[in-house]
Amino acid sequence: MKAALFDAKPYDIPGFDKYGALRGIEFKYYETKLNEDTVSLAQGADAVCVFVNDTVNAAVIDKLTEYGVKAVALRCAGYNNVDVEHAFGKIHVMRVPAYSPYAVAEHAMALLLTSVRRIHKAYIRTKDFNFSLNGLTGFNLHGKTVGVVGTGRIGRVFIDICRGFGMRVIAYDKFPGEGIDYVTLDELFAESDIISLHCPLTEETRHLVNRDSVAKMKKGVVIINTSRGALIDSEALLDGIKERKIGAACLDVYEEESDVFFRDFSGHIVEDDTLARLMTMPNVLVTSHQAFLTEEALDNIAAATVDNLTAFFGEGVCPNELCYRCGRIEECRRGRKEKCF
């Protein structure tokens, strides 16, 4: 079996080489992202392997089908960059639903602690032998109310971490679970000192944080996003920060990140004015979509992706296949025992 892996990074290759060799899958690595201009590179492949910023729209899907590609293997949990409806009947799409919820949840907490205790600022100061504490006053997390939007695997791990800090946890999810205090979104916005986003990006959740929702939030609220950038309206976030309504923003994702993240622009001028303005704010902390980046997660991603391909091409069905017909994509009318089509 041959698979074309797009948007390949040096840290991807060891795991995919290891597990691919074990299962007889030959991966060909391309640094470029998959899109309408690069899809021709997939010719001769049985499957393509893509990441969060690859574009798998209708035009790309049609070309992949024309080339005889049978499967799109996402090496991530999110699938908002794939037109799963257009893919139905043409090409099978599968994902890695859980590679390491601990990696993402722990990074969210790391961002929060770094921001509220000014650790990043202290690190820079002490490198210059400046040991003044002026301007480094933070606040305790103990006793604060954290609102968690999305209580899937990652959200639940983040909740456990917050409870360990003695925080009061409230949550919102369209599909509530057990053991969590659920409230409406408006109640979550109004009561939370800290809001952390752990939900998928859909048409329903796009710009979940907007001007209207920011207006409902507490003054000084801290917003964390380690899920998908477009959950937040960046202009509304900027306005909220400038109006002193938002006390801090901790962002591992950004809605226009595909043109910037995972690349080195240190010697260049970044043309994204919104991102540039956000990064000038002293209370905004940005990391470049690295919440998933642990040794354990990378190994799990490679293993699960190879397992998905092996199951699909070998057994004829993959338990992690996506199908728009099921309404909530995580569910399956066929019980994961048959192909979607």
Q: What is the pLDDT of residues 84-117, one digit of tens each?
A: 999 999 999 999 988 889 999 999 999 999 999 9
Taking 90 as the threshold, does the pLDDT of residue 35 lie above it? Answer: yes
Backbone angles phi, psi at 249, to 5 degrees: -130, 130
Q: What is the CATH number of domain 2-99+295-326?
A: 3.40.50.720
Taking 80 as the threshold, does the pLDDT of residue 326 lie above it? Answer: no
Give the tens place of pLDDT for each residue, 56-89. Answer: 999 999 999 999 999 999 999 889 999 999 999 9
Residues annotated catalytic, as ranges: 228, 257, 289
Q: Taking residues 134-152, what's their average pLDDT?
A: 97
pLDDT band at residue 316 under the 50/70/90 scheme:
confident
Taking 80 as the threshold, does the pLDDT of residue 39 lie above it? Answer: yes
In 3D space, the residue among 215, 221, 219, 170 whose CA is nearest the CA of residue 194 turns out to be 221
Looking at the structure, give the CATH architecture of the domain made up of residues 101-286: 3-Layer(aba) Sandwich (3.40)
Q: Taking residues 185-202, what's their average pLDDT?
A: 97
Taking 90 as the threshold, does the pLDDT of residue 258 lie above it? Answer: no
Q: What pLDDT does 323 receive?
A: 79
Query: What is the b/e burial string over 199-223, where b = at least 16 CB atoms within 10 angstroms of the residue's CB?
Result: bbbeeebebbbbeebbeebbeebbb
Taking 80 as the threshold, does the pLDDT of residue 337 lie above it? Answer: no
Taking 90 as the threshold, does the pLDDT of residue 333 lie above it? Answer: no
Ranges for all domains in the chain classified under CATH 3.40.50.720: 2-99+295-326, 101-286
Taking 60 as the threshold, does the pLDDT of residue 330 lie above it? Answer: no
Q: What pLDDT does 263 receive?
A: 86
Q: How far apart are CA 185 and CA 171, in angstroms?
A: 8
Q: What pLDDT does 163 receive?
A: 98
Q: What pLDDT does 259 receive?
A: 83
Would the CA dihedral through 267, 13, 31, 256 be positive or negative? negative
